Amino acid sequence: MQNSNIKRTKQTIQKLLSTVPVASFIMGKDQSFGVERYVCSEVKGHVPPLQSFVLGVQFSGAHIKTFTTEGKQDLSTTSAITIFPAGVETAFAMLGDVDFALLVIDPSTSPLAMQLYQMATMLVSVVMIGDPVLDALIRQLLVIAQQQSKAEQQYIDAIYKTILLHTKRILLKQNTHRFKSHSLQLNRVRKSVEYIHSHLSERLSVSLLANELSVSESYFRKIFNDVMGQTVHQFILTTRLNRARELLIHSSFSISQVATNLGFSSQSHLTTQFSKIYQISPAQFRKKIKH
């Protein structure tokens, strides 16, 4: 049965976390895949070698520390994408309350899915990367999963294929990635990412962030772009827009309040940037998700 690997992997994860997901779906018409969202608190354990290719994205909460038997360690941050290695046991520790989602891909469903799984067998530890594209796509899957219909199937399949292709691109870059997970540069950028997430309502600039790390603006721009794959400005804007989507879905704030809370200069500024990225205005988006 096509979904057997997905179901087994989901059962393994639920048993490992000792909790049930707050949302769980098997989606896709052409190729089945699983999507789950969890809210956990201070869980520790070992992820066994999985039969599926698994992607994770952290929405909010405390760090998640991961480490392998070879001593390789990493520490997640909000919006960090985690690619789990295949055939390698990974230890983890959630250092507080964490809200995250997992995308479970059965390698037997397509040649591309199998290729990703095989590429993951080359990893000796988890890969964590700041990638706003995957972050936004997985969030979008969760939004539309609540209202799946035959009319949405083509759209869901298109998002899923984009996720696979973009993940392949990320994995192909890993061999030539300039910085290792334990590098000083990545630690510096991680601190900046955490600062950005904690100060979205305030004025954020390259000079301010560089000053926080006691480095020059030009050097900060360089290491941030090298590690994150985008400019500081792009990351700040994408982070604000992702948070705006969350507030439009889960809060009763007016669009003007959302704009103010996230550091946009005005409601029209938020609307312009939101529409440019998502091809729909904040008002239209909120109306759509409530139907």
Q: What is the mean pLDDT of the chain?
A: 83
The correct answer on CATH 2.60.120.280 for the domain covering 4-174 is yes
Q: Please, where are the H alpha helices in the chain?
A: 4-17, 111-120, 132-145, 153-174, 184-198, 206-213, 217-228, 232-250, 255-261, 267-278, 282-289
Give 36's DSSP letter. E
| Between 162 and 172, residue with greater pLDDT | 162
**Residues 13-29, buried b or exposed e (16+ Cβ, 10 A)?**
beeebeeebeebbbbbe
CATH value of 184-289 in 1.10.3720.10, 1.10.10.60, 1.10.1490.10, 3.40.50.80: 1.10.10.60
Name the β-bridge partners of 41.
97
What's the whole-model pTM score? 0.59
3-class state of residue 148 by DSSP: coil
User: Where do we find the tokens 């295949």?
Assistant: 86
Whether 195 has a pLDDT exceeding 90, the answer reads no
- Sequence spans of domains, the chain: 4-174, 184-289
d(CA 57, CA 37): 9
Name the β-bridge partners of 61.
98
| Sign of the CA dihedral with 235 first, then 238, 242, and 247 last | positive
Considering the chain, what percentage of its residues have pLDDT values greater than 70?
A: 87
Beta pairing, strands 80-83 & 127-130: antiparallel
Angle between helices 282-289 and 232-250 (to 10 degrees): 40
pLDDT of residue 239: 84
Whether 42 has a pLDDT exceeding 70, the answer reads yes
CA atoms within 13 A on the CB side of 87: 8
> Within the chain, how many helices (H) and strands (E) appear?
11, 10
pLDDT of residue 183: 47
Whether 100 has a pLDDT exceeding 60, the answer reads yes
Whether 44 has a pLDDT exceeding 50, the answer reads yes
pLDDT of residue 187: 66
Q: Do domains 4-174 and 184-289 have the same CATH topology?
A: no
Question: What integer is the mean pLDDT of 231-260?
Answer: 88
In sequence order, the 6+-apart residues with CB closer than 8 A to the CB of 284 are none
Question: What integer is the mean pLDDT of 128-147?
Answer: 83
| pLDDT digits 0-9 by tens, 209-224 | 999 888 899 989 988 8
Whether 97 has a pLDDT exceeding 80, the answer reads yes
| pLDDT digits 0-9 by tens, 174-191 | 654 433 443 456 667 777
